[in-house]
Amino acid sequence: MSEHESLYLDVQGIKTHLLRGGRGPDLVYVHGAGLCEEWYPHHAELAKHFTVYAADNPGWGKSDNAEWMDEIQDYVLFLDALLRTLGLKSPILVGHSLGGLFAAEFAATYTDRLAALALVDAAGMPFTAEDDVPDFFAVAGRGGLEFAQMVFNKLDVAAANFNYPPTHEDLLRFHRELTSTARLMWEKWFDAKLPRRLPRIQTPTAVIWGQHERLFPIAIGRRFAELIPSAEFRLIEDAGHMAPLESPETFAEEILRLKDRVTA
């Protein structure tokens, strides 16, 4: 693992845990419903090319809870406050899953704050009753292999990163992460206004999807790319919803490709 440091910030009054490592252009990584708190292989790969800032969102990891934050907008404003606290003028913003929704809404709200945007297996796109989108919380309730198969294509990566059976500590961590997710998404399922807002995005954008994504089918990823004017749609072979963790090198190459598009 590459060098990184763990620090705590006060972001709009909320004690926020941040991992920082690497050298190069600034890159802010926003985690999804899970995969926070630790310096994962995808952070390490990105840190070979970028200065990576990976905060735990309020309600996740080692950051405090902020139970009043029950709307996507609250996390968009938090992200704004985080960038100001870190003094980042024009970072690359990478959001995975639920963090992809935060990042997309941020880019549509603040159209001149980012160097580039990457949405990775992002949440939030409206779907219809006919679309093959599983009930995320029910599958999370089943846990074990069924949950692993929903979010991972490479089960060996799942096995390397998660205990089975989970410890009590794991169960309590999942419960907190899922509670924070449910507070935002339980009855909403998606962000109904997102298709109206995405065309506002002026930042060069990569929409990156695992080829075996089973939580948000590929058609949903293509929809993001169709709605964002400067977006390029990219698939990561052999990966599922957890593409950054499943294929960290390929994932980092895709972000480098995005950076090269910006400088070119």
Partner 1 sequence: MRFYYFHLMPWPHLPHDFDAQYESAWVNFPNSLYDPEKGERIYNEYLDEMVAAEKWGWDGVLVNEHHQNAYGTMPSPNIIAAMLTQRTKRVQIGIIGNALPLRMDPLRIAEEIAMLDVISGGRIISGFVRGTGMEYFSLNVNPTQSRDRFYEAHDLIVKAWTEPGPFRWIGQYYKYQYVNPWPRPLQKPHPPIWLPGTGSLETVDYAAQKRYPFMMVFSPVALQKRAYDLYRQIAEEKYGYEATPDQLAFCVPTYVAETDAIARKEAEPYLMWLFHYGLKTGPFGMPPGYVSDRSLANMLKAMPKPFHELTMEDLVDGGYCIVGSPDTVIEKLHYYAHQLHAGIMVSGASCGDMPQEMVRKNVELFSTKVMPALRAAD
Among 15, 183, 222, 261, indicate the residue that binds partner 1 (CB under 8 A): 183
186 binds partner 1, rule: CB under 8 A: yes
141 binds partner 1, rule: CB under 8 A: yes
Between 98-109 and 72-86, two packed helices, what is the crossing angle to 10 degrees? 70
Sign of CA dihedral 215, 222, 30, 196: negative
Among 1, 145, 155, 171, indicate the residue that binds partner 1 (CB under 8 A): 171
87 binds partner 1, rule: CB under 8 A: no
176 binds partner 1, rule: CB under 8 A: yes
260 binds partner 1, rule: CB under 8 A: no
140 binds partner 1, rule: CB under 8 A: yes
139 binds partner 1, rule: CB under 8 A: yes
Cβ at position 175, least distance to partner 1 in Å: 5
How many CA atoms lie less than 13 Å away from 103 in the CB half-sphere?
Answer: 32
Distance of CA 257 to the CA centre of its chain: 18
- Stretch in the footprint of partner 1 (CB under 8 A) among 157-165, 168-176, 191-199, 226-234: 168-176
8 binds partner 1, rule: CB under 8 A: no
97 binds partner 1, rule: CB under 8 A: no
Query: Strand 51-55 relative to strand 14-21: parallel, antiparallel, unpaired?
Result: antiparallel
Spatial separation of the C-alpha atoms in residues 222 and 209, rounded to whole Å? 9
Spatial separation of the C-alpha atoms in residues 15 and 90, rounded to whole Å? 24
Among 6, 7, 89, 137, indicate the residue that binds partner 1 (CB under 8 A): 137
* Residues of span 54-83 touching partner 1 by CB under 8 A: 70
Q: Do 43 and 1 form a contact (C-beta atoms < 8 A)? A: no
Query: Strand 92-96 relative to strand 26-30: parallel, antiparallel, unpaired?
Result: parallel
5 binds partner 1, rule: CB under 8 A: no
Q: Do 225 and 231 form a contact (C-beta atoms < 8 A)? A: yes
- Stretch in the footprint of partner 1 (CB under 8 A) among 119-127, 130-138, 148-156, 193-201: 130-138
Cβ at position 110, least distance to partner 1 in Å: 28
172 binds partner 1, rule: CB under 8 A: yes
Pick from 247, 249, 201, 244: which is nearest to 225 by CA?
Answer: 201
Spatial separation of the C-alpha atoms in residues 170 and 35, rounded to whole Å? 12
* Residues of span 192-251 touching partner 1 by CB under 8 A: none
Task: Return the DSSP state at 31.
Answer: -
182 binds partner 1, rule: CB under 8 A: yes
| Residue 17 in tokens | 């845990």
Chain residues that interact with partner 1, rule: CB under 8 A? 70, 135, 137-143, 168, 171-172, 175-176, 178-179, 181-183, 186-187
